[in-house]
Amino acid sequence: MLAAVLVGCSAALVPLTPEQSAGLEEAQRVADRVTRAYGVPGVRVYATSGLQPTSAAAYLSRFDWIFIRPERLTGNRFLVVLTHELGHVTLRHRWVDLPREQLRALIADQERAANRRGVEIMVRFLGITERQALEHYATYLVTASWTRKDRAVFLPFGHPLPCEQLRDLWASFGQPPPPCEAPVPETAE
């Protein structure tokens, strides 16, 4: 039923600012280029606020849709959110029915792989260096960690902690990761 409702509608499922509309159009252009180059089915990119509160975006493999929160369609976080989801698309990540702990491990592996592919996509299609792409991801993941105070608070099921994702991502490129953990506040004595 949802598929029938969305077919032929605009990609914005919520009102957008002009900047967000431009970001959504750019996201669709990038998605079209990336899926064509990787030889995978195209995806439709939608803006919606109907995601879980802790999710910036989501890839629904059943329909080949990417949903992005409107506030993530602008700024530096936009590149990380989009390329990470396109990482899932190009790696053909699909939902599978597994026992809970096996599913948790699979999702963690898929998140790491999507981050790595996201860096690759930034370099191949957005014209930035590998180091710049890694730094974009570092900024995003450090911010995610700090807002959670380095705890597994509001993480989607199976997602590793942001600092763990950062260390794994940089190690996969043979680079030492930048510091991630939030600084411990000094106490007055």
CA atoms of 174 and 6, how far apart (whole Å)? 43
- Binned at pLDDT 50, 70 and 90, residue 182 comes out as low
Establish how many alpha carbons lie within 13 A of residue 101's alpha carbon, considering only the half-sphere containing its beta carbon. 0
Three-state DSSP class for residue 45: strand
- Binned at pLDDT 50, 70 and 90, residue 156 comes out as confident
pTM: 0.88
pLDDT at 34: 98
What digits encode the pLDDT tens for the residues 89-133?
Answer: 999 999 899 999 999 999 999 999 999 999 999 999 999 999 999
Which of 92, 112, 128, 121 lies closest to 30, judged by CA? Answer: 121
For the chain, the average pLDDT equals: 88
